[in-house]
Homo-oligomer: A and B are copies of this chain.
Amino acid sequence: MSKKLTKRSEDYSKWYNELVVKADLAENSAVRGCMVIKPYGFAIWEKMQAELDRMFKETGHQNAYFPLFVPKSLFEAEEKNAEGFAKECAVVTHYRLQNDPDNEGKLRVDPEAKLEEELVVRPTSEAIIWNTYKGWIQSYRDLPLLINQWANVVRWEMRTRLFLRTAEFLWQEGHTAHATKTEAIAEAKQMQEVYAEFAENFMAMPVVKGVKSDSERFAGAEDTYTIEALMQDGKALQAGTSHFLGQNFAEAFDVKFTNKEGKQDYVWATSWGVSTRLIGGLIMTHSDDNGLVLPPKLAPIQVVIVPIYKGQDQLDAISEKAKSIQSDLRRKGISVKFDDRDTFRPGAKFAEYELKGVPVRIAIGNRDLENGTLEIARRDTFEKQIVNQDDSVNFIENLLEEIQVNLFQKAIDFRKQNTSIVDDFKEFKKAIKKGGFVSAHWDGTEETEDRIKEYTKATIRCIPNDAKEESGVCVLTGKPSNKRVLFAKAY
């Protein structure tokens, strides 16, 4: 095994980068800012996808697929959206390469194969999708239209980090169309709830649900509903957003419908997305100096069985027992790996599965065979227990649930300890410097928001859905405010 991870307390960012690579989740590629998602990292994404996809379908959505490319004229149709993404989009200008006569054996773009209209590689798909919806929606009978797409998108970011911010990333984007404003807002809020449920119940990552301030809103949206999580280093992570788009895209793409009264009206829209960024959030919520810690519900391998043996005879006897436990667990829907490789010693295997965050490790040796026992170790607390083989299936089923609950509780506790309520700017700066969420009054202006950002690097993460009416004064300007908002430095 490669040498130890940097400690989180030494350099959190370095710890993160090392962990992503050493745990075989992802690595940088030859393409600037684009990552390779390795099989182990992709297996986590597949688990996330499966749960989210189920939740989307249960709420009435269907999947579809729209083109990767957006012709420039469509891209620029909704002005705010275009303005928001124009500075970071990859543009296809040619459709052929040819041999370069000045550089033998090399290729260059064929100047005669220049596209009449440039194609933007989708940074998000509102434009291409609303241009399509125009043909699909005539009457209220065609509404609501509830569609989701799993896709890759490209945003030419200058500073990238594996999972958290990459030039290409994988995501899902929901795009829905509704007959009324009320219904569209309800949809956008529903998807915020779905995301929050997924984050908390599957990722064991507590989130604050709220709405974005004007300046943090999605380009082209009327309102952006967000879920915000707190990472171990005290920085916030925007983990998912759901947008109420009003009639902006319907107007830009002329999507009208005949309502029940026979009148024409523009359609109301939402869009919502989460991405492979969630994997970054998962890592920075639970993992420790020994490596990944994965919540059982998203762990590609939930249980690993490591045999402790001397010689082939012992291994054979242990294997028989291990395989029987493996199939018992599998019958319960638990994913189990039996690692009988003879090229690694048990200690090396223990370290590997610790690094990879496998929630439960079973060790089984010769004495266990004699005694009818197993040694069961949990990754989150490092506790070990000797358990009777006969009780092991129930024990492990319960243990996996317990680990899931424990990780969530630990993260909740961490957030509680790292949320400050402050009422003046000196305290505010101190709290932001310390890290964590800071709950404070704000006068509601973009100007104040900008100045706070300038002084402290903190941004308004959201106006929490559950923020109480409470009269107070803005921490910066002293102007009146009736609600606290949540500030933090953020990824």
Contact = CB atoms under 8 A, between A and B. Distances in A.
Interface of A: 27, 29-31, 34-39, 42-43, 45-46, 62-72, 74-76, 79, 82, 86-98, 105-109, 118-121, 128, 131-132, 135, 141, 147, 151-152, 154, 156, 168, 170, 343
Nearest to A131: B30
Nearest to A62: B39
Contacts of A63: 39, 42-43, 46
A91 B71 contact: no
A98 B120 CA distance: 13
A67 B168 contact: yes
A97 B89 contact: yes
A106 B38 contact: no
Contacts of A75: 97, 107
A95 B90 contact: yes
A42 B64 contact: yes
B95 A94 contact: no
A72 B100 CA distance: 12
B34 A69 contact: yes
A121 B97 CA distance: 12
Contacts of A29: 66-67, 128, 132
Given A88-B96, A91-B92, A98-B86, A42 B62 contact: yes
Question: Which of A38, A74, A88, A107 neighbours the largest number of chain B CB atoms within 10 Å of its CB?
Answer: A107
A153 to B, nearest CB: 10
Contact of A89 (B36, B96, B119, B128): B96
When all copies of this chain in the complex are counted, the total is: 2
Contacts of A66: 29, 36
Nearest to A72: B107
Nearest to A97: B86
Given A131-B30, A132-B36, A93 B64 contact: no
Given A72-B107, A97-B86, A42 B30 contact: no
Contacts of A45: 65
A86 B96 contact: yes
Contact of A37 (B65, B95, B128): B65
Nearest to A34: B67
Contacts of A168: 67-69
Given A74-B30, A128-B29, A343-B141, A35 B95 contact: no
A135 B36 CA distance: 12
Given A67-B29, A67-B36, A93 B94 contact: yes
A107 B82 contact: yes
A92 B76 contact: no
A446 to B, nearest CB: 23
Contact of A92 (B90, B128, B170): B90
A86 B199 CA distance: 44
A97 B69 contact: no
Contact of A43 (B62, B74, B87, B141): B62
A184 B46 CA distance: 27
A45 B63 CA distance: 10
A157 B347 CA distance: 55
A74 B34 CA distance: 15
Given A75-B107, A90-B119, A97-B86, A68 B30 contact: no
A141 to B, nearest CB: 7
Contacts of A132: 27, 29-30, 36
Contacts of A64: 36-39, 42
A355 to B, nearest CB: 17
Nearest to A132: B36
Contact of A67 (B31, B68, B71, B118): B31
25 contacts: A27-B135, A29-B67, A30-B71, A31-B71, A34-B69, A36-B66, A36-B67, A37-B64, A39-B64, A42-B63, A42-B64, A43-B62, A45-B65, A67-B168, A68-B168, A72-B97, A75-B107, A76-B107, A86-B97, A87-B96, A89-B96, A90-B92, A90-B95, A93-B93, A141-B343
Given A63-B46, A67-B29, A72-B107, A88 B95 contact: yes
B39 A119 contact: no
B128 A30 contact: yes
Given A30-B74, A92-B121, 8 more contacts: A29-B66, A31-B69, A37-B65, A39-B147, A42-B62, A42-B65, A87-B97, A89-B96
Contacts of A74: 30
A211 B76 CA distance: 48
